[in-house]
Structure 1
Amino acid sequence: QWIDYAGNIINGGTDLVQANLSPFPDNAPPQGKADVTLPLNVTRTSEFGWVLNGNSWTSPPDNFTPLLFQPAQIAALDKNVYFSYPNGSVVDIIFTVTAGNPAMHPPHPMHKHGVKAWFLGSGEGKFPYASIKDAVDAGYKGINMKNPPLRDDFVTPVAITGNAWAAVRFRAVDPGPIILHCHIDAHLATGMVIVLLEGAEKLTSGYVPNYYLSKNKP
């Protein structure tokens, strides 16, 4: 788009579609049905309350031993704020942004640690299918399975009223607890966080090297 000195748009333009920011060369995601589909509902509980799936994540206490050092602690985690799936799984995440009380949702830059994910698409309203495969099989044009961008952050659309959605796909190949959160600090601080426990079956007593376990210990 071109603008004048006052910032007024003086010609037509093309809207940016994140899922069309194709890599070169093409790097297609795994095709077909995902092993796991995770629905993540992005909602607000108040002016300063931002949550995922209706739950607010809180940091573990200072005396919490990291899971990599003591995997048996997994059983003590709050199951409302994490998802778990086997190593090697193809995982789809479908974000649904729901405007409520208060109404407006700005774009949420959702950041995933660990392996990157393919940003498959986004749009207004609710995602119109139960799964990515269903959408592809129906010929839905809002999903790019050919050459979507491979990213570690995904921006959800604005939702002033109603809903908006965004969808990503990745293959879990880096076992461990991985955090997924909104990168707006105020949203992160109030609980817009989820933990992805990837390949928990690999987190055995021999998974972490001894030299790492003993590092900085007397």
Structure 2
Amino acid sequence: MIVCIDNVLTSEELEQIQLSLASGEFVDGKLTAGTYAKIVKENYQLKGDSDVAKDVRAIVNQALKRNALFQAAVRPKIIRPPLFSRYEAGMSYGTHTDNALMGDDVLTRSDVSLTLFLSDPNTYSGGELVIDTSLGEQFFKLAAGAMIVYPSTFLHRVAEVTEGVRLAAVTWVQSIIRDAHEREMLFELDTVQRALFEKHGKTVEFDLLCKLHANLLRKWADV
């Protein structure tokens, strides 16, 4: 399931992140790429141990925590520290798959990948996130402050930026629901459950739907 979420960041948060990144120190993005991804990764990455990185990570983490759609669709158990990337003209990230396991001392499983767009799409050309799906390649270039989440099992790439600068935050999530199809079913049940309650209130049908949702969550959750 691929989900696009608008307005993850407020205008004030977006402006603060953009100003912070403007003064941040960026290094070669290959430093955080896997063995094979390094071959096709051409971008800059905000230095991870800087004060700027800590500040902007905190803003993004708070935004993810409060976003109800992200929480319902992803069911996060562990969210990796976000990485902040910068693509200038001529830079891209070729086709790759994200590492299944991440971390040094404590390993986490990557179930869901996300990209939070930080640049106005009108200020740069190219730079689309391209996901290889069963329907072919799908291109995504969202508004600044919007986010896309998708299963980490997909091959994907960032198309070459031909003009301007593309800023984005990326990270990976270990979900309490490991299987992508089970996550999607729970999300759809949750969506119907909320809509039914808003339309008819607490009914027998609503209670049965709540029971089904709760029992499936109990059956599938890895906590």
TM-score (norm: length of structure 1): 0.29
The higher radius of gyration belongs to: 1
Structure that is richer in helix per residue: 2
